[in-house]
Amino acid sequence: MNQHSKKMIAPVVIAVCIILYYAAVGIALLFVGNIALVIKIPILIIPLAIIGVSVFVLRERIREIRSGEEDDLSQY
């Protein structure tokens, strides 16, 4: 395992945990009792948006690690 692979473990684990949590929330919202589908769909958009943002941020972090820029404060 090279130097960059070790630094990618934590961001991937955190992102997977966040994605699984919000996927479970989204699935739970689908099976909630007497809520109309018209209300369920907009409520499902929020967990899906958070999942999408998590994947985007993970991809950006992996790019930063691979490029060797580990300190984000160096940009400022």
25, two tokens: 């929330």
Residue 76 forms part of a structural domain: no
Give per-residue pLDDT as tens, 21-63.
Answer: 999 988 888 887 788 888 888 888 999 999 999 999 999 998 9
> Where in the sequence is the domain holding 58, given as residue range(s)?
3-69
Would 75 be classed as within a structural domain? no
Interatomic CA distance for residues 34 and 19, integer angstroms: 26
The tally of domains found in the chain comes to 1
Classify residue 35: in a domain, yes or no: yes
Sign of the four-CA dihedral 34, 39, 41, 44:
negative
pLDDT at 69: 67
> What's the CA dihedral at 17, 21, 26, 27 to 10 degrees?
100
Taking a C-beta distance cutoff of 8 angstroms, is the pair 11, 61 a contact?
Answer: yes
Tell whether 50 is covered by a domain.
Answer: yes
Asked whether 26 and 62 are in contact (CB, 8 A), the reply is no
Tell me what pLDDT residue 43 has: 83
The answer to whether residue 74 sits within a structural domain is no
Q: What is the reported pTM?
A: 0.78
Under the banding of pLDDT at 50, 70 and 90, the label for residue 64 is confident
